[in-house]
Structure 1
């Protein structure tokens, strides 16, 4: 599995180039587009480019090292690659484009269906869908009850996170979301103290949710190879 982790990490660094370019090209509003020029280093330079790409590789390698080989593993790798980009996008623009979350959800869906057919066992698929749907509806309810606290992009991302972790274990899905929301609460408390209770200060929720996803995967018990 060391070989798988090293390959995943190297591929993650390479994939981090367009992912980082995409992260810095997403506008404050409107459609997400990536021009051919932005697939190269030209749109970002220095540590703005190198740092996120290396981090992408580290996250991808770490996640793939903790998961067993399956048809769903490439979907986890892709999500790990997208995690850094989504975090940058949310910090920059306070948005999490639905087209990106939707693409990740679709990738997981196809991979999970394929693995379920290969196993001839749909229990994990059912659990993943239940976890994703439950998290989505819960976050949506919070967004509606407390307007301005959560964006619909946060709601969608939470659903994808719970879906992916739910494939492994329902408790892991809950753990990932709990870690993410706890991190966000701590950050909000620090920001509230620093800015003297200025409630207009916004804190992107995406990075905390994504950190919770990574932490949940890394903190699980050693996989049965």
Structure 2
């Protein structure tokens, strides 16, 4: 069992962990689903969280029984259209979109000399971080276009530790989606799930919301794990 003192780095998802950009993603996918004639549901919106753009499009098409209706070129056009919708929605985003407590948590990590990296499937994460005023904390980012596999494959979180020059067991990964928690666990990192503990039951540590995510609370949770 890894001890708190052995942790040297934190690997962050972006959507739903640092900021609630999932709202903007959801609206943009909803717009596209309507255009494609696929019925939008809350379940479909949840299933898309933490999933790459093309995989999300495939899931929407499969939900509507349309997975074989379009060529790859057409699918790429629709994925690009969704991204344009998303970027238009993002124009109004500012620091008020940072989830409760996360700005303080990120600052506290820097103050305690932890290394930080971003493991987001979103190609727009640099833009989002700039608008949130947090880009300076995440100089280490994974370029999603260089990945061969999307979440729940462990590749992105494994790379998140690699870019920090750390072993996976020296890192904690933070996620709000089940696919992301699976990715963290598969990479051999300690997983912190933020959200419904029933949905994120595979996480090593659960917090119901971001305001609970502090170094002290993570240490307490790890101490309890060590004793059990």
TM-score tier by shorter-chain length is 0.3 to 0.5
Q: Which one scores higher on RCO, CA 8 angstroms, separation ≥ 6? A: 2
Structure with the higher fraction of residues in helix conformation:
1
State TM-score, norm by structure 1. 0.34
Structure with the higher fraction of residues in strand conformation:
2
State TM-score, norm by structure 2. 0.34
